[in-house]
Amino acid sequence: MKDLRCPLCHRPLLQNIQGLACVNRHQFDRAKEGYFNLLPVQNKHSLEPGDAKEQLQARRQFLQAGFFESLKLRLQELVPATTETLVDIGCGEGYFTAGFSEVMPRAQVYGIDIAKAGVRLAAKTSKERTGLTYCVASSFDLPLADDSMDVVTRIYAPSKDSELYRVIKPGGKLVIVAPGENHLLALRSRIYKEVRPHSLPETPAGFVRAEQHRVEEDLRVGERDMRASFLAMTPFAWKLAPELRDSILDGELRDTLDFMISVYSKN
């Protein structure tokens, strides 16, 4: 874990018996689940920032059932075999982060999220996996050394261009996943009077778009508890009228998954 830096003074973090510490004696203990909390209290904008625990648990149930497996497999294919260090920004409960670790057993993989509940879930199920480390931290102030990452992945997560540029090695890769124009089009059409197409993310400053890939497939959710998990994990959960929610829960959900994967190279 030589790639981690102190979120308070930005000096390198070294392992000790309790967890991690820098030369200025800022100590960060390892939680019993195995993760590190590298989010200083003064950088928190709420008591529990990030996605709610219920939303993260629903996401875990839905993703573990394999509904997003095609996206995971495509992302695994896009990560270079020579990758030694990778950070998954906005890792949530760790589905995709663990997927990267599966195909890169010799690499050091980091999962970072501002939601402690998600990181706790991720770390609890990956406790015995070597080379996989989860941290509670902000994507706008990454606890990573300069030029330390071969690959940064960002799946439906916010970030700061200057931080992405800072932590990626020269010639390194940035992989961003965003919704395609048809993503959950049927559901969005039932919620909004006017459905606006999703726009592709702008190329972050200091990067050049090298590749673009699309993963599109039908979504069929037959079990009621899975439909409930699906609704709970999406931002649409708060926009659904009770009668529409009941209608979706009572009948088979049919829709489209549409993901755009943009791969960038650092100049």
Q: Which two tokens stand for residue 77?
A: 């294919």
For residue 44, what pLDDT band results from cuts at 50, 70 and 90?
low
pTM of the model: 0.93
Q: Taking the alpha carbons of 19, 14, 104, 164 in that order, is the dihedral positive or negative?
A: positive
Spatial separation of the C-alpha atoms in residues 132 and 112, rounded to whole Å: 11
- Residue 191: the pLDDT is 86
**Torsion on CA atoms 176, 181, 183, 187, rounded to nearest 10:** 140
What percent of the chain has pLDDT above 90? 78
Q: Is 41 exposed, middle or buried (0-12, 13-18, 19+ CB in 10 A)?
A: exposed
- Residue 95: the pLDDT is 97
Average pLDDT over residues 217-240: 90
- The answer to whether 119 touches 142, Cβ cutoff 8 Å, is no
Determine how β-strand 36-37 pairs with β-strand 132-136. parallel
In the block, tokens 């979120």 appear at 7
In the chain the domains, ranked by start, together with CATH numbers, are 35-266 (3.40.50.150)
Determine how β-strand 19-21 pairs with β-strand 27-29. antiparallel
Q: Which two tokens stand for residue 81?
A: 């075999």
Helices 53-64 & 95-103 angle (0-180, nearest 10): 40
Cα–Cα nearest to 198, from 156, 136, 153, 141: 156
Over residues 57-98, the pLDDT tens digits come to 999 999 999 999 999 999 999 999 899 999 999 999 999 999
- Residue 46: the pLDDT is 57
CA angle 103, 106, 107 (to 5 degrees): 80
- 3-state secondary structure at position 122: helix
For residue 30, what pLDDT band results from cuts at 50, 70 and 90?
very high
- The answer to whether 83 touches 104, Cβ cutoff 8 Å, is yes
- Residue 43: the pLDDT is 63
